[in-house]
């Protein structure tokens, strides 16, 4: 029993940590109360292999209804013709797409990690597991984006099976139309990894890759899309390609698809239909306001000549202040939680102490912060990282501002997700 109580204590303390800090990891978010309730429903205990109405288990009548509802809501929200809600993570969504449309030894074009790509796009990740040869796009440092002309030439020369677009450090829309045209010439599928910007796409505040030429949109459901940890696959696929994708998911990569997650996803899809545009709009407004204030305070914020960002993310170069590792650790002691991150000019072979920080505003936005509060948060960054104010003092200021912004908005019922709820 002592071990159990220790684990519970750790969970309670983790709730306290995030409820009293400023969580600004760009890949995290918090759910609404009804979605959270689904995670402790009986769905958590059950199996449902196969499709609704075609399960390999009995007792699936209600999960069939939930899955059908999730599919209906997802197709409506993203205005597309194909959806798979069974994939259980964004990385596995990528691997499913790689498995559906390429064979080991085939070429895939993608960005390198220092240019913002996720590890699943690389030989050390899902692409390598599928046995793909990854060729990197040339990168334009001025636009902080793919070099379009050089990348079109690359696609024509390499003739990849997959043209992959998407980033983990994701500030600006990507040249989907231009690269899709080149992909069609060589018979490649265009896969857009929208894990970070899925909620912005749903809220119509970012590019819509499926309308711009992508065949498949993969995503995580817990970043700007404020749902449960998990994945989703969307697209405009013909019947043959849809079957290939479904088979790559089940039985290829997923057995049971975590039914409590599925129910929470369905709830969040419904919330996004009702609140997604307002939420996405405020996210982008907050990111721009935060970036502008950080710039005014003397931080080196990437993308100044392009308005700093068009997403939920901001990238800052803190090399002169000690580097990404040192500053991220310092900020955590002050109650500000961010992650170190490589910037385009960093060596991709040396990721442990990069020049930059990647900052996301989606969770604080979800909890009600707007432009004025984001400007104050930027000032706390300066007190911590530039002024080197006592972390204990800064943390008290962080606690004070956070006290008024703990309740989740943009959902059917507001609540405080950081308050630990005991069931027994």
Tens of pLDDT, residue by residue over 139-179, are: 999 999 999 999 999 999 999 999 999 999 999 999 999 99
Could you tell me the strand order of the sheet in which 300-301 lies? 300-301, 313-317, 356-360, 339-341
Confidence of residue 92 (pLDDT cuts 50, 70, 90): very high
Is the per-residue pLDDT at 352 higher than 90? Answer: no
Is the per-residue pLDDT at 349 higher than 90? Answer: no
- Quick one: pLDDT at residue 354? 97
Average pLDDT of 371-383? Answer: 98
Confidence of residue 386 (pLDDT cuts 50, 70, 90): very high
- pLDDT tens for 214-225 read 999 999 999 999
C-alpha span between 76 and 70 (Å, rounded): 10
Average pLDDT of 302-327? Answer: 98
- Quick one: pLDDT at residue 185? 98
Q: What is the DSSP string of 324-364?
A: HHHHHHHHHHTTEE-EEE--TTS-TT--SS-SEEEEE-HHH
Confidence of residue 346 (pLDDT cuts 50, 70, 90): very high
Is the per-residue pLDDT at 1 higher than 90? Answer: no
Give me the chain's average pLDDT, please: 97
Contact (Cβ atoms closer than 8 angstroms) between residue 350 and residue 393: no
Average pLDDT of 41-67? Answer: 97
- pLDDT tens for 72-81 read 999 999 999 9
Average pLDDT of 396-408? Answer: 97
C-alpha span between 389 and 374 (Å, rounded): 19
Average pLDDT of 19-38? Answer: 98
- Prior bond to 412 cis, omega within 30? no
Is the per-residue pLDDT at 193 higher than 90? Answer: yes
C-alpha span between 342 and 358 (Å, rounded): 9
- Quick one: pLDDT at residue 236? 95
Average pLDDT of 48-60? Answer: 97
- Quick one: pLDDT at residue 324? 98
Average pLDDT of 397-420? Answer: 97
Is the per-residue pLDDT at 265 higher than 90? Answer: yes
Percent above pLDDT 70 for the chain = 100
Is the per-residue pLDDT at 350 higher than 90? Answer: no
Confidence of residue 351 (pLDDT cuts 50, 70, 90): confident
Q: Which residues contact 274 (CB under 8 A, 6 or more apart)?
A: 412
Average pLDDT of 241-248? Answer: 98
Query: How is residue 44 annotated by DSSP?
Result: G
Confidence of residue 52 (pLDDT cuts 50, 70, 90): very high
CATH fold for the domain made of 34-271: 3.40.640
- Quick one: pLDDT at residue 365? 98
Q: Is the pTM of this model over 0.85?
A: yes
């Amino acid at each position: 029993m002592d071990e159990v109580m220790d684990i519970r204590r750790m969970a309670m303390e983790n709730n306290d940590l995030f409820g009293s800090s400023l969580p600004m990891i760009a890949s995290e978010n918090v759910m609404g109360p009804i979605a959270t309730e689904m995670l402790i429903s009986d769905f958590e205990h059950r199996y449902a292999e196969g499709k609704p109405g075609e399960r390999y288990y009995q007792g699936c009548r209600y999960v069939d209804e939930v899955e059908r509802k999730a599919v209906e809501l997802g197709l409506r929200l993203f205005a597309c013709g194909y959806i798979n809600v069974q994939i259980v993570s964004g990385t596995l969504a990528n691997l499913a797409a790689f498995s559906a449309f390429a064979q080991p030894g085939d070429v895939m074009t993608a960005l390198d990690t220092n240019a913002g790509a996720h590890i699943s796009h690389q030989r050390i990740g899902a692409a390598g597991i599928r046995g793909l040869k990854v060729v990197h796009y040339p990168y334009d440092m001025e636009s902080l984006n793919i070099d379009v002309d050089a990348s079109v030439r690359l696609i024509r020369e390499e003739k990849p099976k997959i043209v992959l677009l998407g980033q983990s450090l994701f500030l600006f829309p990507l040249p989907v139309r231009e690269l899709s045209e080149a992909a069609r010439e060589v018979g490649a599928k265009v896969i857009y990894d929208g894990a970070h910007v899925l909620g912005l796409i749903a809220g119509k505040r970012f590019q819509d890759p499926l309308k711009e030429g992508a065949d498949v949109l993969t995503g995580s459901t817990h970043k700007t899309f404020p749902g449960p940890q998990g994945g989703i696959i969307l697209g405009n696929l013909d019947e043959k390609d849809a079957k290939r994708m479904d088979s790559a998911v089940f039985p290829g990569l997923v057995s049971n698809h975590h039914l409590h997650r599925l129910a929470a996803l369905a709830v969040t899809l419904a919330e996004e239909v009702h609140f997604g545009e307002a939420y996405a709009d405020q996210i982008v407004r907050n990111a721009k306001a935060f970036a502008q204030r950080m710039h005014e305070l003397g931080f080196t914020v990437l993308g100044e000549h392009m308005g700093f960002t068009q997403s939920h993310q901001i990238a800052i170069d803190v090399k002169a202040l000690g580097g990404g590792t040192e500053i991220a650790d310092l900020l955590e002691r002050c109650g500000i939680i961010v992650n170190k991150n490589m910037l385009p000019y960093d060596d991709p072979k040396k990721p442990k102490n990069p020049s930059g920080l990647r900052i996301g505003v989606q969770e604080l936005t979800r909890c009600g912060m707007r432009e004025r509060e984001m400007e104050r948060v930027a000032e706390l960054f300066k007190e911590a990282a530039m002024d080197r104010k006592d972390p204990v003092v800064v943390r008290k200021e962080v606690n004070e501002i956070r006290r008024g912004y703990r309740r989740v908005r943009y959902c059917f019922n507001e609540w405080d997700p950081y308050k630990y709820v005991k069931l027994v």
